[in-house]
A and B are shown apart, each in its own frame.
Chain A
Amino acid sequence: MRIGVFVCQCGTNIASTVDTERVAEAARRLPDVVYSTTYVYTCSEPGQQEIQRAIEAYNLQGVVVAACSPRMHEPTFRRAVEKAGLNRYMFEMANIREHVSWISNDREANTKKAIELVRMAVAKLRFNQPLFPSRVAINKRVMIIGGGVAGIQAALDCADAGLQVVLVERKASIGGKMAQLDKTFPTIDCSSCILGPKMVDVAQKENITLYAYSEIESVSGYVGNFTVKIRKKATYVDWTACTGCGVCMEKCPSRKVLDEFNEELSFTRAISIPFPQAIPKKATINPKYCLHFTKGKCGICSKVCPAKAIRYDMTDEVVTEEVGAIIVATGYDLFDPSAYGEYGAGQYRDVITGIQYERILSASGPFGGHIKRPSDGKEPKDVVFIACVGSRDASVGRPYCSGVCCMYIAKQAILTKDHIPDSRCYVFYMDIRAPGKNYDEFVRRAQEEYGVQYIRGRVGKIYPKGDRLVVQGMDTLLGVQIEVEADLVVLATGIEASKGARELAEKLHISYDQYGFFMENHPKLRPVETNTAGIYLAGACQGPKDIPASVAQGSAAASKVLALFARDTIETSPQVASVNERACIACGKCIEVCPYGAIRWKELKGGIKKAEVLATVCQGCGLCNATCPPKAIQLQHATDNQILAEIEELCA
């Protein structure tokens, strides 16, 4: 190989503590090196031209630049050598600035070290091969998993841009938690009035295919070309025929079914439409309660349905969709407060959760928007809110802040006062966290204008007294024990990862943190991208988030997809693993360790199995390379030979 070495002085950044002339001279004496020189600023336009001139003049086949960190200028020099006709992987850098000239003033030691780093780069370069990126066509359809407000926003933005959108929601209706809320902080606008039209839009957009009551079965493929299998769970109602008239629901004799949408504060029927504004507005049979399934008789819905849509013999169906990108927006679930025995959740009927209180406040809720307590339907006069139930408490495995509770407590207290002007509201809290736009002002309004009493301290115990509850706690600001008699206690239960989040992450090959929230690629700079190319995040599935932040992320994820789809093909890095089939013993270890599912079996003639790398999926970590017993799988550009050559050069 004919190699050229260019030693950069970087003005005086390198030259002041490294004898660059001596480095270039030493390089010239290395085998294969046919040209070597120093240059004052190699990355400058004339510096790059000097490299290109030398490639032509000396017919160079490989180039080493000894200069700054490759994290800085490797792409610059790769482009430069490519312009002169070399493959961009026939290039190596020796880092003699960040790792040499800037960390020691010992000119002698630095010069010796620089020479050794150049020798190592040359030794590696001898094993370099031209590598060529592949291009893959992009399937310009996008899948969104989860139809809460974040997923809806992403779906509408993508659809508005003309993309084909597939939206998968596991419940019978989209809307997520926001659909259950009464009003929203900090503006107190009605949740269903702002969300409802967006849900209708989803139903009306021709380029959105909605799979409700469906879940992801499996995901394969890679950026630009994912294949997703979706399980459409049996609803026992033909949704293409169902008009959502609700006659079945009226006539269904099985009436003791706890209503999930109303957080089990009321009953629905064995056949039901989740809520009046549901999208899609279709009926679903719950076979656990349907008398046809439990007793083998009834069939009333089938008789009364004017559209003849009932199908008792329906089974799950698995459909396949091909998409180029996926946005995950599966939201959150809420902490189970029974972990705190002292609060009596589940034991006293008038100790409820914040989301239950949203339903009680809502005009479409179990009590038609009149605040009543669940036990006896009486209007409460004293309402106690307890913050951080399953948030900021390491003892229940939830050390993080749920981010929205302080705000929704203030909202619910204000709404309580609006409904019942002579009511009294008390809030037990640790700190008030209200960092959003107009948020702190909102909490102050609750305190100052509405007279909500904030008590800083934890509640130790709740116990019944007559038909009321006594809340015992500590006021840590006054340093006194405090007791409040309440008609209703609302627990602000914390946000936790949505059920099944980990399993979904594993299907998608994305990572999650110790709490099950999905991990973004970079917490500051790439907040909606995952480590897996082509898969994006939006909303509370990434961590606790309020509606404005969830919507912003929905739009951000949509814009990432649109940027990806702006081209017809994508270039994939050729620094990927590749298998020497003759050496592969088909042990499958590489398939086991690859974090991206980039390796699969390939069948040769005679039924012989060999491992095969999907170049467009491989991310180039090299885990397989280190794992493979016969070293049959090698990471290009960081092969065993290349790394060993560097080591041996230093041993010499």
Chain B
Amino acid sequence: MEEKSTTSANEMKIIGFLCNWCSYGGADTAGVSRLKQPTDLRVIRIPCTGRMDPLFVLKALISGIDGVLVSGCHPKDCHYAVGNFYARRRLEVLKEFLPFLGIDADRFHYTWVSASEGQRWQEVVTEFSQRIHELGRNPGVGTKTKTENSVEAY
């Protein structure tokens, strides 16, 4: 896989919400196999995609994060039996809803990657990062205010 040269200047801000039981492990597997990937993604570990509150995606996209990726267990493989089915329903509705807020639905993607699928993870990250680079910066929604928590850059 070709390595995209990123510098701090042209790097995009992408958040990945990964299920602890499958995709987080898949991302680990990709790392252990040294499968090179774009560096734009920051991962947040969640117990199950069923934990995914659409609010998390909205919060990020409204605040100007350039892309949000959610990845969980393959249908029927959910560690908690049914969590990913609820996630699928919710996130599907969310995707429909994003354009009404003035957010390009392409900035949001959800998929399934198991703990053993390191290679698949590499492909998912590479494709999604490329897509976001093509879309360019996300202006966010409304007036962008800095959040209270924000800290001065290092």
User: Closest CB of chain B to A493's CB: distance in Å?
Assistant: 27
Bound form: Cα–Cα A651–B61 in Å: 9
Binary contact readout B14-48 vs A (1 if CB under 8 angstroms, 0 otherwise): 01000010001101101110111111001111111
Bound form: Cα–Cα A642–B151 in Å: 17
Known: A531-B79, A651-B60. A103 touches B31 (CB 8 A): yes
Q: In the complex, which residues of chain B have a beta carbon less than 8 angstroms from the beta carbon of A649?
A: 149-151
Q: In the complex, which residues of chain B have a beta carbon less than 8 angstroms from the beta carbon of A404?
A: none
B135 at the interface (CB under 8 A from A): no
A109 at the interface (CB under 8 A from B): yes
Choice from B35, B59, B147 contacting A652 with Cβ under 8 Å:
B147
A644 at the interface (CB under 8 A from B): yes
User: Closest CB of chain B to A170's CB: distance in Å?
Assistant: 25
Bound form: Cα–Cα A513–B75 in Å: 11
B80 touches A651 (CB 8 A): no
B3 touches A113 (CB 8 A): no
A98 touches B51 (CB 8 A): no
Bound form: Cα–Cα A88–B13 in Å: 31
B47 touches A621 (CB 8 A): yes
Q: In the complex, which residues of chain B have a beta carbon less than 8 angstroms from the beta carbon of A513?
A: 76
User: Closest CB of chain B to A222's CB: distance in Å?
Assistant: 15
Choice from B8, B35, B39, B150 contacting A648 with Cβ under 8 Å:
B150
Choice from A69, A98, A623 contacting B80 with Cβ under 8 Å:
A623
B82 at the interface (CB under 8 A from A): yes
B143 at the interface (CB under 8 A from A): no
A472 at the interface (CB under 8 A from B): no
Tell which of A24-32, A160-168, A226-234 binds the partner: A24-32
B51 touches A622 (CB 8 A): yes
Bound form: Cα–Cα A95–B44 in Å: 10
The residue on B at minimum CB distance from A626 is: B53
B51 touches A625 (CB 8 A): yes
A97 touches B31 (CB 8 A): yes
Known: A102-B32, A644-B56. A638 touches B46 (CB 8 A): yes
Binary contact readout A28-43 vs B (1 if CB under 8 angstroms, 0 otherwise): 0111000000000000
Q: Output the residue of A116, A509, A621, A640 with the most chain B CB within 10 A.
A: A621
User: Closest CB of chain B to A366's CB: distance in Å?
Assistant: 43
Q: In the complex, which residues of chain B have a beta carbon less than 8 angstroms from the beta carbon of A647?
A: 15, 44, 56, 59-60, 63, 65
User: Closest CB of chain B to A426's CB: distance in Å?
Assistant: 40
A623 touches B154 (CB 8 A): no
Specify the main secondary structure of chain A where it touches its partner. helix
B37 touches A103 (CB 8 A): yes
Choice from A109, A116, A622 contacting B47 with Cβ under 8 Å:
A622
Q: In the complex, which residues of chain B have a beta carbon less than 8 angstroms from the beta carbon of A595?
A: 80-83
Known: A625-B51, A648-B147. A619 touches B36 (CB 8 A): no
B50 touches A623 (CB 8 A): yes
The residue on B at minimum CB distance from A640 is: B53
The residue on A at minimum CB distance from B5 is: A106
Bound form: Cα–Cα A155–B24 in Å: 39
Q: Enumerate A597-652 residues with CB–CB distance to B below 8 Å.
A: 619-623, 625-627, 635, 638, 640, 643-652
User: Closest CB of chain B to A156's CB: distance in Å?
Assistant: 31
A587 at the interface (CB under 8 A from B): no
Q: How many A-B residue contacts, CB cutoff 8 Å?
A: 167
A109 touches B7 (CB 8 A): yes
A105 at the interface (CB under 8 A from B): yes
Bound form: Cα–Cα A619–B90 in Å: 21
Bound form: Cα–Cα A110–B39 in Å: 7
Q: In the complex, which residues of chain A have a beta carbon less than 8 angstroms from the beta carbon of B79?
A: 531, 621
A244 at the interface (CB under 8 A from B): no
A99 at the interface (CB under 8 A from B): yes
A626 touches B51 (CB 8 A): yes
User: Closest CB of chain A to B17's CB: distance in Å?
Assistant: 8
Q: In the complex, which residues of chain A have a beta carbon less than 8 angstroms from the beta carbon of B3?
A: 104-106
Bound form: Cα–Cα A553–B49 in Å: 32
A651 touches B147 (CB 8 A): yes
User: Closest CB of chain A to B91's CB: distance in Å?
Assistant: 11
Bound form: Cα–Cα A635–B120 in Å: 30
A511 at the interface (CB under 8 A from B): yes
B111 at the interface (CB under 8 A from A): no
A652 touches B51 (CB 8 A): no
User: Closest CB of chain B to A446's CB: distance in Å?
Assistant: 38
Known: A105-B3, A595-B82. A119 touches B50 (CB 8 A): no
Known: A621-B51, A625-B51, A643-B56. A650 touches B15 (CB 8 A): yes
Q: In the complex, which residues of chain B have a beta carbon less than 8 angstroms from the beta carbon of A651?
A: 13, 59-60, 63-65, 147, 150
The residue on A at minimum CB distance from B19 is: A621
Bound form: Cα–Cα A593–B47 in Å: 16
B60 touches A627 (CB 8 A): no
Bound form: Cα–Cα A563–B59 in Å: 46
A652 touches B150 (CB 8 A): yes
User: Closest CB of chain A to B127's CB: distance in Å?
Assistant: 15
Spell out A's residues near B (CB within 8 Å): 25-26, 29-31, 69-72, 95, 97-100, 102-106, 108-110, 112-113, 115-117, 119-120, 123, 509, 511, 513-514, 531, 575, 593, 595-596, 619-623, 625-627, 635, 638, 640, 643-652
What are 11 A-B pairs at a CB distance below 8 A?
A29-B152, A103-B36, A104-B38, A115-B154, A511-B81, A595-B81, A622-B47, A623-B50, A623-B80, A623-B83, A638-B51
Spell out B's residues near A (CB within 8 Å): 3, 5-8, 11, 13, 15, 20, 24-25, 27-28, 30-32, 34-39, 42-48, 50-53, 55-56, 59-60, 63-65, 76, 79-83, 86, 90, 146-147, 149-152, 154
Which A-B residue pairs are the 10 nearest by beta carbons?
A98-B31, A622-B51, A652-B150, A26-B154, A621-B80, A623-B50, A651-B63, A109-B39, A102-B31, A98-B28
Extra 5 A-B pairs, beta carbons < 8 Å, given A109-B7, A647-B44:
A69-B31, A98-B31, A99-B28, A109-B39, A623-B48
